[in-house]
Amino acid sequence: MTKLGILYIMVRVLVATERKICVKRGCPIVCDNGQRIIKKETCENSMDIKETKEKLNKTYGSVKEKVLGKLRSVSELGKRYIKAGAVCAAILTAGIVISVNFTPVYSVYLGGEFVGKVTAKSAFEAAYADVNETISKLDAPHETIGFIPDYIYGISLRRSVTDEYALKSNIANLSRAVRPACYISVDGNSVLCVSDETKAKDVIEKIRLSYGGEDAKIVSDVAFTNGFSHIRDITDSGLAGMNLASKINVETYETIVYDEPVPFGIEYVNNAEMYEGQTKSVSGGTNGSRTVTARVTKINGIETARTEISSAETVMAVAQVIEIGTKVPSGIGNGSFIDPTFGMVTSRFGARWGRRHNGLDIANDIGTPVKAADDGVVTHAGYDGDFGNLIIINHNNGYETYYAHLNSMDVAEGQKIIQGQKIGEVGNTGYSTGPHLHFEVRKNGVPTDPSKYLN
Ligand SMILES: [Zn+2]
């Protein structure tokens, strides 16, 4: 009966805490924090509080009535039992509290120096061996620690048990060569070793702040790893960050205001008096100016991005005006010719060396422009024996003009040409003794003296 009573009270206490519990007899009750309560999902026998309450009321309801019935009728002796039970419960609770918060520990001493509290000697032995192995690897095998540990057994708060890194650090501090250290790595490369993580983070923060602006942001991948290092490799001086700074990318942001020119546009206007393809600028155009506010992003002080926030045009740009000819060439000459090129006349029309010279030779450098003497249509543009590169223009008024020995030709057969249009360049092709233009004027197919038509 007493057992049932205590069980009932305990179960009610558990229910009252509004936890989920396992009610299966013999179920290994283990909870998330080591206490005798269980999460539903970790025990197939658990059930919701409501279900539990119902089941408990059903299962133990009669027991409860029996217990209460008995209790109501007990004598003073019975009441003393109840008091004794309460004392036992208090002791039990205290016992649970102690077992949760306290644990047996070994306080470990090396050469009289306290190095930590461990729950098992093996934990210390492993840390000790690990530190000595590290010392050997750090090129200081003669500096390994050789103390025989002293253990003092006792009870301690669980939270005062020394963690593994602190334990190793305390051991390492007894060596002459090795100390706990924090390695700073940048983008995967270890670049600096300082004595601890606080100093490491401080170095990085100083680098960040050195770029000014609280919103400066480190964009390199910086990582801190606690470990151990040879004393000679630990850098804690103020210069620690100097070398590091060059390896770390820091992004900064600033808002700037500046004026910049606004390029003028071009306005095209048709001109029916000018031929197709001809253009003429009739007014120059002037740049405007605008004031821009922009956000500039820099990495290590060098601009990497600029985003315009706002702008205002302070001086309006004035467009350039260009006229475009729309007149279609007729392909019919007006009957008067202009000089096809310029230079020295080296041979005139007429008898030469016993033969008749059908044209006028005008000598000049290769590349000198050659122009159509009048409107017309190109009837030939190609290489032709002694003429070399030859253009023939039919003026559709009985006249044809010939342009020979050209270095290059700008027109094609069938193309309508206007007077003065560049058709090619002076050359030395075909039968020619030097760069010159051989120019002919043929009237109804008969060569005539070009001099008669030129100024
Ligand atoms: Zn000639």
List, in order of start, the domains of the chain with CATH numbers: 2-73 (no CATH), 105-181 (no CATH), 184-248 (no CATH), 255-326 (2.20.230.10), 344-452 (2.70.70.10)
Token reading at 61: 């309801």
Residue 342 Cα to ligand 1 midpoint, Å, equals 15
pTM of the model: 0.48
360 C-alpha to ligand 1 centroid (Å): 6
Q: How far apart are CA 38 and CA 21, in angstroms?
A: 5
63 three-class SS:
helix
**What are the pLDDT tens digits along the chain (455 aa)?**
444 454 455 444 444 443 444 444 444 443 333 344 444 444 444 444 455 456 555 655 555 566 556 556 555 555 666 676 776 676 677 667 667 789 999 999 999 999 999 999 999 999 999 999 988 888 667 778 888 999 999 999 999 999 999 999 999 999 888 899 999 999 999 888 999 999 999 889 988 988 877 789 999 999 999 999 988 888 876 666 677 888 899 999 999 999 999 999 999 999 999 988 889 999 999 999 999 999 999 998 899 999 999 999 999 999 999 999 999 999 999 999 999 999 999 999 988 777 889 999 999 999 999 999 999 999 999 999 999 999 999 999 999 999 999 999 999 999 999 999 999 999 999 999 999 999 999 999 999 999 998 87
Cα 398 to ligand 1 centroid, rounded to whole Å: 22
Do 401 and 368 form a contact (C-beta atoms < 8 A)?
Answer: no
Q: Are 276 and 325 in contact (CB under 8 A)?
A: yes
CA dihedral 311, 314, 315, 317 (to 10 degrees): 20
Tell me which amino acid residue 331 is: G
- What pairing do the DSSP bridges indicate for beta strands 436-443 and 446-448? antiparallel
Per the DSSP assignment, residues forming a β-bridge with 292 are 258, 311
Ligand 1 midpoint to CA 77 (Å): 152
Ligand 1 center to 359 CA (angstroms): 5
- 362 Cα: distance to centroid of ligand 1 (angstroms): 8
The token pair that represents 282 in the structure block:
């009739």
104 C-alpha vs ligand 1 centroid, how far in Å? Answer: 122
Ligand 1 centre to CA of 331 (Å) is: 26
Q: For residue 238, report the phi and psi dihedrals to the nearest 5 degrees.
A: -65, -15
How many Å lie between the centroid of ligand 1 and the Cα of residue 117? Answer: 115
Distance 401 CA to ligand 1 centre (A): 13
- Report the DSSP pairing between strands 266-275 and 320-327: parallel
- Ligand 1: centre distance to CA 450 (Å): 11
